A and B are shown apart, each in its own frame.
Chain A
Amino acid sequence: MLITCPYCGPRDVIEFTYQGDGNRARPEPASQNFEAWNAYVYDRLNPAGDHNEIWQHSGGCRAHLRVVRNTLTHEISSVTFVRGHHGSASRPEAEDRS
């Protein structure tokens, strides 16, 4: 399985760390809505098909990535940075890395 990091390009899955389901919405830290906290911690959509999930390129640029991957075929249809990324998401030119 290859994941195409928007910064580093296509890399083997072994370079990445799975951080789980990207659909979960964390309640505000001060929230006392226990049902919302319980749902955040324990409940999963677990779809058979496209799954919105978080990976970290821990063996590379260490960026956190939002990946849409099909759980039936392992096919990846989208990889984006989890947070807004300053500057270009393209690979730096060779001279920039001197």
Chain B
Amino acid sequence: MMAEYSALSLLANALKGNKDWKPAWRKPDPKASYDVIIIGGGGHGLSTAYYLAKEHGITNVAVLEKGWLGSGNVGRNTTAVRSNYLLPANTRFYEHSMKLWENLSHDLNYNVMFSQRGCLNLAHTPAQFDDYARRGNAMRHLGVDAELMTTAQIKRLIPALDVSDSARFPVVGGLMQRRAGTARHDAVAWGYARGADRRGVDIIENCEVTGFLRDGDRITGVTTSRGDIRAKKVAVSVAGSTGRVMRLAGIETMPIESHVLQAFVTESLKPFIDTVVTFGMGHFYLSQSDKGGLVYGGDIDGYNSYAQRGNLPVVDEVMSEMLALFPGLARVRMLRSWGGVCDMSMDGSPIITTGPLPGMYLNCGWCYGGFKATPASGWCFAWTIAKDEPHDLNASFTLDRFHRGLVIDDKGQGATPRLH
């Protein structure tokens, strides 16, 4: 079968006046029932549908999205992809994601512009540098690439970075993951959507879930703004809206708080930085998009929020952090800022599990790091839905781990979600 997008199809369509391109996904009306319903048409929901169809042959699937496809966090993040974690459960999972990323454009026949430009964590004290050495060793122990960089090497890599002794927080070194990088976030949503659609998955936009159909405890479908839909299995993949959707199923409390994270982009600049860099004395990360804008962000605002917008103190803090690293950016104009709602879990690690009710499957707790997990999250969630048990890679990401004392707290922050 000829790939749908190729040099040949581009030429053939150009010669025919580009009249024969098919929409990347259909706009079907919901059927009365499906084998699997996935609530949430974001990156994770779409990749779950794709891997259900591709890896497990389950194609009688609907993805229900309350807005338009990709209108949530998959279109709002700062696009960084990395697998530089400390704890084995996280490292193995995110490295699996990294390997899927490395072949994703080919697998989807859709250019997600995955660019392995590296991700550098800056250290500003000798103790922090030692901590990075420990994390780097933990990564290398599990077969993930990591290298320590000296200040001189960092200066050569990022000439605009202030590595002088007079910097507010002088740089003493850094931890680099060369295989990390960035990807075009919208293309990831569109690519997974088209891949799922072509395999028979119905992607139903503007279809808000308003409740669950039940038979006793068992979930047997959903009520939506476009009518009732029955399903053998209902999968919830709604990130920041997890609390709202679970409440519809009668589950009042979750080990999740919803918080708002802001992100920013500057006007387009000439090539300025060809890696992702993170600040070690605060929370700040920056990369440059292919269009030239600097894409950056910092901490969440720090209070519960479902509003997709934040407040000015964090804007001020993020700009200060940027200027502490790159004084030369002081005159660059910020073009846009926006916010997304993050599902902050109590240990900073995700939940991919069967349950908590019969017939239900749950994927949440991505904090503000869900984008890089998109392929592995869908891959593991699809496995869990298809086989009614977790894969080894997500076996630790249970919902009951909090009450059982099995938290996976990579940062060691404790049960304070705004600090993860």
Contact = CB atoms under 8 A, between A and B. Distances in A.
B254 A43 contact: yes
A91 to B, nearest CB: 24
A1 interface: yes
B305 A46 contact: no
B311 A20 contact: no
Interface in A3-50: 12-14, 18, 20-21, 35, 38-39, 41-48
Nearest to A55: B303
Interface string B238-259: 0001011000000011111110
B307 A72 contact: yes
A62 interface: no
B403 A46 contact: no
A54 to B, nearest CB: 11
A38 B253 CA distance: 12
Contact of B243 (A12, A48, A53): A48
Interface string B142-184: 0000000000000000000000000000000000000000000
Contacts of A71: 258, 304-307
Interface residues of A, number: 25
A37 to B, nearest CB: 10
A41 B415 contact: yes
Contacts of A38: 402-403
B243 A46 contact: yes
Nearest to B309: A74
A88 interface: no
A18 B314 CA distance: 14
A19 B128 CA distance: 27
A48 B244 contact: yes
Contact of A42 (B303, B311, B415): B415
Contacts of B252: 45
Contacts of B257: 21, 44, 46
B216 interface: no
Contacts of B241: 48
A51 interface: yes
A5 B256 CA distance: 28
B302 interface: yes
B313 interface: yes
Contacts of B243: 44-48
Interface in B218-264: 241, 243-244, 252-258
B38 interface: no
A14 B313 contact: yes
B125 to A, nearest CB: 25
A48 B306 contact: yes
Output the residue of B243, B302, B303, B313 with the most chain A CB within 10 A.
B303
B250 to A, nearest CB: 13
A45 B244 CA distance: 10
A73 interface: yes
B416 interface: yes
Ranked nearest first, the 3 interchain pairs of A and B with the lowest CB-CB distance are: A46-B243, A43-B253, A42-B402
24 contacts: A1-B311, A18-B302, A35-B403, A38-B403, A39-B253, A41-B402, A42-B255, A42-B346, A43-B255, A44-B253, A44-B255, A44-B256, A44-B257, A46-B243, A46-B257, A46-B304, A48-B241, A48-B244, A48-B306, A69-B303, A71-B258, A71-B304, A71-B305, A74-B311
